[in-house]
Structure 1
Amino acid sequence: MAGKVSRKLGLPTGDFLEHGYGRAPVHRNLREIRRMAASITLRLLDGETPDPRAKATVNGLADAADLFRIAGQEDANDWYTVHKSLGQPSATLCLEISSKLLEVRSLLTTGDERAARRVLDELADDALPDMLENYVNSTKHQNATAHTESDGWAYVLWSSGEPEAVIAAVTELTIDEALADMKASKGHPLGVLAAWQVYRPSVAAEKLSELLANLRLDGDLYVVERGTTGTATLGTIKDSIEAMLVADDLLVRSPWHFDEKFEAAEPTPKAVGLR
C-alpha cells in the first residue's frame, strides 16, 4: 500500500487563458506514448510473460506509473484530462496503483517474476485493467471521455483570473457539466484543483457546508461555497474534504468499486445550493 497521498498543495502559477488548470489537452506524441504504456501493462495483467530485459516493458511500466501519479497528485496542467481518461479513480487509488506499478518494474528488473506476478494479480483485482482499457478507448481521439458510473462529485475549482479564491462544492452532475454552467472569471476559464467521486451527493453537500463553516484557519485563500467565504490553505481544504468524505463513508474508490448498498438506497432529495 502507498503512504499518504501527496497531492498538489500549492496554487498553480501563471495565467491559464485557453484551458483552465488541469484541463489542458494532451499533446499527441505524449498521448501515444501513454497509450503504448497502457497497452503494455494490459498485456502483463493478462498474463503475458514479460522479458525483463526489454526496454519497452521497463519504460512502459514507468510511463503507466507516471500516468496514475499525475492523476493522483493533481499537479500537472493536464491532470484532470488524464484523470477522466482513466475513468476518474480516486487520488488515493491512483497513488496506490502508481506505487505498485513501480514495484512490479523493480521486481522484474531484479528477476523476481513470481513476486511481480503477485503484485500484478493484486492490481488486476483492483480494477486496473478496466481503468487502462478505459484509457486506451477514450484517448483514440484528442478529447477524452470519462467513465460516468457516478452519483455525484465534490470538487475544488480555481481560475487564474481570481487567484485568491477557490470554489468548493458538490454536484449531482459531472464536473464538466457543472463547469459548463459557470462563467469564466475575467476571461480566465475555471480549472480543477481536486475531484472526488461521491456517494449520496445531497449528504455530501450538507457535510461540505458544515465543514467549510468551521474551516477558519490562517491562509491565503478564500473558500467560496453557497455564498459563504472563509480562509484556509489549499492543502488544508483538500485534506479536510477528503477526511470528511472518508469518515462519512461518502468517497467512491472508482466507478468500478461502486458499492451496491448505496445503489440500492432510496434516492435523496436534491439539497438546496447543490451545484
Structure 2
Amino acid sequence: MASPVQDHRVQVVQKWGFGMAPVKPEVQQKRRQSVTAVLSCLQNDRIASSPALLEALSEVKGLYSRCHKQDQWDWFTVWQQLGRPGRKRCLQAGDALGRLRTAIRDGDGATAAKQLTLLTDADVQVHLAGFVGELPRDTRGAGYI
C-alpha cells in the first residue's frame, strides 16, 4: 500500500497593521511627482494654472487628508513620509491646499496668496521637501515602538 504524499509547501502571509501598508512603487512615483510640482509652486512667486498643477494639488491634499482622518490603508506610512505632522496641522494643510487649488483654478490671486501664507505657516514646504528627500528631517527625540 502506497503512503499518501504529504504537502510541505509553506504559505507566507504578511498582515500589516491598519495604516501601515507599504505604498506600491507606481503610486509612490506619482505621489513624488505631485509633491515635487506642489513644492515648486509653493517656492515660486508666480503661479500659472495648469491641469497638471491642479491634479498635483488634489493629490497632495489627499495625502494630508488621509493623515488627518487616519482612515486609509497607508495613512501611517504617508504620515511618516511627511515627517509626522500633527493632525491639526494636517487638517489645516489639506484645507489650505484645497482652497489654493480652487483659487488657482478660478484665477483669484488674493485668495491664492492668502492660502500660500497659510501653507507656509503650517510648514508644508518642510513636509513636502522631506517627502521627496530634499531636506534632512530633524529626528532628535524621535523613535519607533
Which range, TM-score by smaller chain? 0.7 to 0.9
Which residue identity does 1:49 align to in structure 2?
R
- Alignment match, 1:131: 127
Quick check: 1:134–1:147 contact (8 Å CA) kept in 2? no
Q: Distance in 2 between matches of 1:43 and 1:121?
A: 15
Which residue identity does 1:148 align to in structure 2?
T
Asked whether 1:20 is paired with 2:11, we answer no
- Alignment match, 2:139: 148
Q: Which runs of 5+ in 2 are unaligned?
A: 1-12
Q: Which runs of 5+ in 1 are unaligned?
A: 1-15, 139-144, 151-172, 179-275
Quick check: 1:84–1:146 contact (8 Å CA) kept in 2? no
How do 1:8-87 and structure 2 match up within 5 A?
A: 17-52=14-49, 54-87=50-83
Q: 1:144-194: CA deviations, max 9, x gaps?
A: x975244xxxxxxxxxxxxxxxxxxxxxx62x3x2xxxxxxxxxxxxxxxx
Counting aligned pairs with the same residue, the percent is 25
Question: What is the count of residue pairs matched by the alignment?
Answer: 132
Q: 1:188-244: CA deviations, max 9, x gaps?
A: xxxxxxxxxxxxxxxxxxxxxxxxxxxxxxxxxxxxxxxxxxxxxxxxxxxxxxxxx
Q: TM-score, normalised by structure 1?
A: 0.45
Displacement after TM superposition at 1:122 (Å): 2.1
- Alignment match, 1:114: 110
Quick check: 2:83–2:131 contact (8 Å CA) kept in 1? yes
Q: Which has the larger radius of gyration?
A: 2
Quick check: 1:87–1:135 contact (8 Å CA) kept in 2? yes
Quick check: 2:34–2:56 contact (8 Å CA) kept in 1? yes
Which residue identity does 1:24 align to in structure 2?
A
Aligned residue for 1:130, secondary structure, equals helix
Displacement after TM superposition at 1:72 (Å): 1.0
Larger RCO (CA within 8 A; separation ≥ 6) = 2
Q: Distance in 2 between matches of 1:58 and 1:149?
A: 35
Q: Distance in 1 between matches of 2:107 and 2:91?
A: 25
Q: Distance in 2 between matches of 1:57 and 1:72?
A: 23
Q: Distance in 1 between matches of 2:60 and 2:36?
A: 9
Greater strand content: 1
Q: RMSD value over aligned CA atoms?
A: 2.1
Aligned residue for 2:133, secondary structure, equals helix
Displacement after TM superposition at 1:21 (Å): 1.5
Displacement after TM superposition at 1:47 (Å): 2.0
Quick check: 1:84–1:147 contact (8 Å CA) kept in 2? no
Displacement after TM superposition at 1:88 (Å): 0.2
Aligned residue for 1:23, secondary structure, equals coil
Q: Distance in 1 between matches of 2:46 and 2:53?
A: 11
Quick check: 1:68–1:97 contact (8 Å CA) kept in 2? yes
Aligned residue for 1:137, secondary structure, equals coil
Quick check: 2:20–2:77 contact (8 Å CA) kept in 1? yes
Quick check: 1:41–1:61 contact (8 Å CA) kept in 2? yes
